[in-house]
Amino acid sequence: MYAQMVKSEATKDDPEQLAAFQARVDADEKIEPKDWMPEGYRKTLIRQIGQHAHSEIVGQLPEGNWITRAPTLERKANLLAKVQDEAGHGLYLYCAAETLGVSRDELTEMLLNGQMKYSSIFNYPTLTWADMGAVGWLVDGAAIMNQVPLQRTSYGPYARAMVRVCKEESFHQRQGFHVMMAMANGTADQKRMAQDALNRFWFPALMMFGPSDKDSVHSSQSMAWKIKMNTNDELRQKFVDETVPQAEYLGLTIPDEKLTWNEDTKEYDFTEPNWDEFFDVISGNGPCNVDRINMRQKAWDDGAWVREAMIEHAEKKAARKLAAE
Amino acid sequence: MDHLFEFLLRQGDNALVLGHRTSEWCGVAPALEEDIALANTALDLIGQTQLWLGYAAEVEGKGRSANDLAYLRDVYDFRNALMLEVPNNDFGRTLMRQFLFDAFQVPWLTALSASSDERVAGIAAKSLKEATYHLERSSETVIALGDGTDESNRRMQDALDYLWPYAGELFGQDATDQAMQDAGVAPVPASMRSVWDTQIEQTLSAACLSRPDTSFAHSGGCNGSRHTEHLGHMLAVMQTLQRSYPGAVW
C-alpha cells in the first residue's frame, strides 16, 4: 500500500449536494474531474493520490541503488525497466492529481518540505542483491493487495491509473519472486542473503497496510466515499495468507515465531508489526528518511537549470514562429 | 589477433559502457519525463550489448557468454571509446555525449546494416532504429539547452569543450578497422567523419554553440592501450557481485 494514514478531510458542503454525491458513489458511478464533489473528497484524494505518486518516485531510489550493481545484463535490464515503470506510475498519478487542481510542481514542493509523505517502506535500506527480490516479492506484492481494489475506486482518473499500474505491478512481483527463487536455490551465500532480506523486509512490508483498524482513525469517511476499499487489517491478513505458502515454496522462514495456521478462522495468526517503529519511521526517524529526501532535493535542485532552459527555449521558439508568420 | 572478435568487442563495449553510464541517472533526472527517456536509452543500449557481446563470445569460441565478457574482463580488455566511460557530470554533458555518439552511430549502423556478415547486418539494422530515435531526442535536447538560458548555454559549451577531444577516437583506422573493410564487414570508421561533421555543424549552429577550435583526439579506448582512470571505478561497481561470488547463478 503506497498511501498510509491518509487523513480524510472534514467537509462543510450543502447537505443536499452531499447526499446526491453520496448516492452517485453508492451506485458505483465514477466521479469525473468536472463533476461537483465535496471539498473534503477533493482534498483527501489529493493527499492520497499525491502520497501514492510520491511513493512511486521515492520508491525508485532503493531499487535504483542496485541498477549499477545488477549481476547480469538480463537482471540489469529487468531492474531498470521496473524502476522506469515506477517513474511512469508517478507520472500518471501526478496527472490524476492535477485533475483535482494541484500541479506536479506544487506536489513536489510539498514532498520536499515534508508537508506530504510517502510510504514508510521506502525508508528502509536495500543492502544486498536479494533485497531486489524481496522488494519485488513483498513490497510490490503488498502494493498489489491495495491497488487491485482501487481499480474500483470512485474517482475516475485514479481508478483508470490503477488499472495500468496493477498490470505492471503484478509483473514486478513475479520478477521479484524469480530473483528470490534464484537466490534461494543458489549457493550458501545466496541463501543467506535471501533469508536476511526476508528477515529485514517482513515486518516493514506488514506495516505498509497502515495501523490496526482499532487505531485507524481516518478510514470510515474514505470508505464511504470509496477512496479506500478495504480496511488495513483485512488487507494485511490477505497478504499474510498469500505470502506464507510462497515463503515455504522458497524454503525460507518467515521471521515470526507465532505464525501459525488457525483451523477455526482458516487464516494465519501472526505477530503484529512493532507500531512504535512504524510511527518513528513515518515521523522522520526511519533508517533512510533523511537520505531519501536529500537525494530527491538534490535531483530537483540539480535539474532546475534544465527545466528553466526547456521553458525558455519553448518560449523563444514560439516567439520566433510568431515573428515569422 | 581475431579481428572480427576485436571489432565486435568495440561495438558491444561502446553500448555497455554508455548504457551503464546512462543507467546511473535512474531516479535522479531533472524531470520525470527525462528519467523515463534516459532509462529507455539505457535499456536500448543494454539490449544492443547483449547482441554484440553474445556474437563476440560465439566468434571467440572459448565457451564464454555475453555476461562473462561484460562482468569478468578487466580494464585493459575493454574496447569502448574513452568518451563513453568518462563520468556523466551534469545532465548537459550526459546529453551532449549522447548526441556526439548518436551522430556517429546513425551513419555507422546504416553502413553496418549492409555488412557482408549477416549477423552484423542484423544487429546493426535493429540497433539503427533505436539510434535514429536517440539522435532525434539528443539533438533536440542539445538545441533546447544550448538555446535556453545563459546558464544552460554556458553548461552546454563547457560540456562540448570537455568532450570534444574525446570524440575524434570514434573515427579510427587501425589494423582491425582495415581488416573489417577488406572482409566487407564494415567500412573504416574514419569514413564516417564528413557525415558526422555535417550533423554536428547543423545541430551546434541551431544550439548557439561553437565548435571547439582543436582537432586533437585522445585515443587508447578502442584498442585498450590506455583507458581513463574512470573505467576501473565503473567496473568495480558493475562487476562487484560476479567478482565477489564466483560461479554463483543469479
Cβ distance B35 to A316 less than 8 Å, yes or no, reads: no
Q: What's residue A217's pLDDT?
A: 67
Is A309 in contact with B145 (Cβ distance < 8 A)? yes
Residue B132 touches partner A, C-beta closer than 8 Å? no
CB contact under 8 A, A84 and B35: yes
Q: Which residues of B touch A295 (CB under 8 A)?
A: 27-28
Name the least confident of A67-71, A162-166, A190-194, B182-186: A162-166
Q: Do A76 and B31 touch (CB under 8 A)?
A: no
Question: ipTM of the assembly?
Answer: 0.97
Residue of B nearest to A84 (CA): B36
In this complex, how many residue pairs, one in chain A and one in chain B, have their CB atoms less than 8 Å apart? 149
Which uninterrupted H or E stretch holds A267?
A: strand A267-269
Q: Which candidate from B35, B50, B151 shows the least CB-CB separation from A87? A: B35
Residues 6+ apart with CB under 8 A from A265: none
Please say whether the beta carbons of B101 and B84 come within 8 A.
yes
Nearest by Cα to A225 from A6, A34, A53:
A6
* Count, residues in chain A: 325
Angle at CA B106, nearest 5°, toward B113 and B88? 130
- Please, are residues B85 and B234 in contact by the beta-carbon 8 Å criterion? yes
Q: Which of residues 6-35 of B touch A (CB under 8 A)?
A: 20, 23-24, 26-35
Average pLDDT for residues A196-221, to the nearest whole number? 90
- Taking CB atoms and an 8 Å cutoff, what residues of chain A touch B39? 80-81, 83-84, 87
Helix axis angle for A141-150 and A156-184, nearest 10°, is: 160
Note whether A309 contacts B40, CB cutoff 8 Å.
Answer: no
Q: Which of B71, B90, B249 sits opposite A186 (nearest CB)?
A: B249
For every residue of B41-75, DSSP letters joined together read HHHHHHHHHHHHHHHHHHHHTSS--HHHHHHS--G
Cβ contact B171:B160 at 8 Å: no
Q: Could you say which of B32, B43, B241 has the minimum Cβ distance to residue A87?
A: B32
- Triad B86, B88, B92: Cα angle to 5°: 125
- In B57-76, the residues whose Cβ lies within 8 Å of chain A are 66-67, 70-71
- 8 A C-beta contact, residue B33 and residue B42: no
What are the chain B neighbours of A189 within 8 Å (beta carbons)? 245, 248
Domain boundaries, given as residue ranges, for chain B = 3-244
Q: Kindly state the average pLDDT of the residues B152-178.
A: 97
pLDDT(A1) > 60: no
Rounded Cα–Cα distance for residues A166 and A173 (Å): 10
Dist. CA A55–CA A121, nearest whole Å = 9
Residues of B in contact with A75 (CB under 8 A): 250
Q: For residue B27, give the nearest of A60, A74, A305 by CB distance.
A: A60
Check A69 against B91: CB less than 8 A apart: no
CB neighbour class for A217 (10 Å; exposed up to 12, middle 13-18, buried from 19): exposed
pLDDT at position A255, please? 98
Which range (A219-228, A280-289, B138-147, B155-164) has the least confidence? A219-228
B104 min Cα distance to partner chain A (Å): 24
Nearest Cα to B18, choosing from B244, B245, B238? B238
In 3-state terms, chain B is what percent helix, strand and coil (to 5)?
70, 0, 30
Q: What is the reported pLDDT for A6?
A: 74
DSSP helix/strand/coil, A62: helix
What is the mean predicted confidence (pLDDT) over A305-309?
98
Distance CA A73, CA B203 (A): 33
- Contact criterion met (CB < 8 Å) for B152 and A94: no
- Residues A199 and B18: their CA atoms lie apart, in Å, by 36
Q: Are A169 and A146 in contact (CB under 8 A)?
A: no
Q: Calculate how close chain B gets to A230, using CA atoms only, in Å.
A: 31
Q: Is the pLDDT of residue A88 over 80?
A: yes
Which of A183, A190, A306 is opposite residue B30, by nearest beta carbon?
Answer: A306
Cβ neighbours for B33, distance < 8 A, ≥ 6 positions apart: A91
Q: Which CATH architecture has domain B3-244?
A: Up-down Bundle (1.20)
Who among A75, A129, A303 is closest to B30 (CB)? A303
Calculate ∠ Cα A295-A296-A298, nearest 5°. Answer: 65
The pLDDT score that the predictor gives to residue A252 is 98
Highest mean pLDDT among A143-147, A169-173, B39-43: B39-43
Confidence of residue A2 (pLDDT cuts 50, 70, 90): confident
C-alpha cell at A318: 514560439
Question: Is it the case that residue A5 has pLDDT exceeding 90?
Answer: no
Beta partners for residue B204, in sequence order: none
Q: pTM here? A: 0.96
Q: CB B30 to CB A129 under 8 A?
A: no
Residue pLDDT, tens place only, A262-281: 999 999 999 999 999 999 99
Instruction: Quickly state the pLDDT bin for A3 (edges 50, 70, 90).
Output: confident
> For residue A272, what are the contacts with CB-CB under 8 A and spacing of at least 6?
A206, A212
Q: For residue A193, which amino acid is it?
A: M
| The predicted structure's pLDDT at residue A219 | 75
Reference B43, options B142, B156, B133; nearest CA is B133
Instruction: Select from A197, A131, A161 the least CA-distant residue to A56.
Output: A161
E strand or H helix at B128: helix B118-147
CB of B47 within 8 Å of any CB in chain A? yes
Interchain contact B87–A (C-beta under 8 A): no
Is a pLDDT exceeding 70 seen at residue A300?
yes
Residue A311 has phi, psi (to 5 degrees) of -65, -45
Q: Report, as an integer, the average pLDDT of B196-219.
A: 97
Q: What is the DSSP letter of A155?
A: B
**What are the grid coordinates assigned to B86, written together?**
568518462
Q: What is the pLDDT of residues B16-60, one digit of tens each?
A: 999 999 999 999 999 999 999 999 999 999 999 999 999 999 999
- Minimum-distance CB partner of B237 among A69, A73, A312: A69
